[in-house]
Structure 1
Amino acid sequence: PPMGSGYGVAFPSGQKVPYKFEAAERRLGYTGKWDTDLIHAVCAQPMCCCIAMFCPCCVSWEIRRRYYKGDMSQYVCCGGYLPCAGKCGEKSCPECCLCLETWLCFAQSVAVTRWLLQDDLELETTACDKCIIATMITLQYLACIMQCAAAIAGSGELDTAADIVDLLADIVWCTVCACMAAQHANQIEVRDGRKAPAADAGVQAVAPAAPMQRT
């Protein structure tokens, strides 16, 4: 089906990956294990995690390139998961488009790399990872609500509290994104055979899969 019908990504086998809620529901059935979870990602890829703290957009750009194994002809804006994907002139200048994606839509670029890996290797999101991601998002919402409340109430104490929560939310956001980048980089190394899978119990070695193709 054409992209407008809601199916924009296909595996090498020809299996279509639906957009939005259908794709999220499909991931609930995945049983593959990440080589490392978010908590231990910093230990698996300490250098990547540290660099991602200070240069997150650059790291997101590099990890996506590694996902495609350097073949940027495979690149589609936002991984083909959004309706606008494939209509942004990616084929004429994929490197530039990826740069714009990672700098202008950083959060989306990190999420897309995660979805690509999950759909390729059928990796589940563990309960622990879900908790960490949910905490990060909740703090962002809480910070926004408190800033709005402080502006309406005109209270100095509430404004100070809002600033503290906002700072905490930013710290957690940067930390989680850095750990997520490390987790993705580590998984790509395992996929490509450049690193042996972790020997931890319950971690399943997953056979390398070719990047998805947009149809």
Structure 2
Amino acid sequence: MPVKQELVQACTGHWKTEMFQAPCEAPGSFLYGCCCICCASYQQRTELLDLTGEPYVCCAGLCPCGPLGEPQDRACLFLEVCCCPGLALSANRFMVQTRFDKENTPCDDCIITATCLFVCVLDIARCCVDVPHELDFLADCLVMSVQGCMHAQQQIEINEVKKHGWHGMPPMIMQHLPPSQQEMMQKVGMHGAAAHPSMIGAPQQMPMHQ
């Protein structure tokens, strides 16, 4: 992800399921991410926004250039997932990792990096030689598979947070976010301990009468 190294190092939590194991743990989410990444990314981002209570920002603030770094109407999410589905999926991952404190494992980094390199090498080679259609099909299958793995891994984490509740973003991570995002989250009360009373996503208990 195109983020500062300090922010990457601040994320130290572990995923419930590694990306390589996600298809077996959540086959439905994996197939959904493989076959319909636009719809899957839209639904997942909507869940994240509802879960954290924050407004929609294009690509979750990954590209905070001018108005793209400011809150927009949530309807703009349709354009994001349709025009830039890969970036939209990465933005969902950025939100999961920064809001819920999750770091990439070496296996995750290897899968994502190898896929990007393979696609880039094919694009460069296509400028000089005729690339066999079989390699194009292989690249498409690889990208779809990795997208499905990412979506499934992230969905597992979101479901886990819904089950146990969210206590707010860790202060160590928040201080490394862009200033505009820090200000936005402070306005909606997502600065660590301040979010504790409302434990977003946790089941509510009815008070006992004496």
TM-score bucket of the superposed structures, by smaller chain = 0.7 to 0.9
The answer to whether the 8 A contact 2:64-2:70 is kept is no
Q: Which ranges of structure 2 fall in alignment gaps of 5 or more residues?
A: 175-179, 184-210
1:140 aligned to 2:140?
no
| AA matched with 1:147 | R
Q: Of 155, 170, 175, which residue of structure 1 is paired with 2:145?
A: 175
Alignment of 1:1-215 (within 5 A): 20-22=2-4, 24-69=5-50, 74-84=55-65, 86-87=67-68, 91=72, 93-94=73-74, 96-150=75-129, 159=130, 161-193=131-163, 208-210=166-168, 214=181, 215=183
| AA matched with 1:125 | N
> Which whole-Å CA distance do the structure 1 matches of 2:167 and 2:58 have between them?
20
> Which whole-Å CA distance do the structure 2 matches of 1:209 and 1:104 have between them?
33
The answer to whether the 8 A contact 1:120-1:209 is kept is no
What TM-score comes out, normalization by structure 1 length?
A: 0.71
RMSD of equivalent CA atoms = 2.6
The answer to whether the 8 A contact 2:33-2:40 is kept is yes
* Deviation sequence 1:62-103 (CA, Å, 0-9, x none): 001111226776211111232236558854x31x21111111
User: How far off is 1:177 after superposition?
Assistant: 0.5
| AA matched with 2:50 | K
Tell me: CA distance 1:37–1:71, structure 2 relative to 1, closer, same or farther (3 Å). closer
Identity %: 28
Q: Which ranges of structure 1 fall in alignment gaps of 5 or more residues?
A: 1-18, 151-158, 195-206
User: How far off is 1:187 after superposition?
Assistant: 0.4
More strand by share: 1
The answer to whether the 8 A contact 1:77-1:85 is kept is no
Q: How many residues align?
A: 173
Q: For CA contacts below 8 A with separation 6 or more, give which structure has more relative contact order.
A: 1
Bigger CA drift: 171-180 or 113-122? Answer: 113-122
> Which whole-Å CA distance do the structure 2 matches of 1:106 and 1:128 have between them?
23
More helix by share: 2
Q: SS at 1:38's partner residue?
A: coil
User: How far off is 1:163 after superposition?
Assistant: 2.5
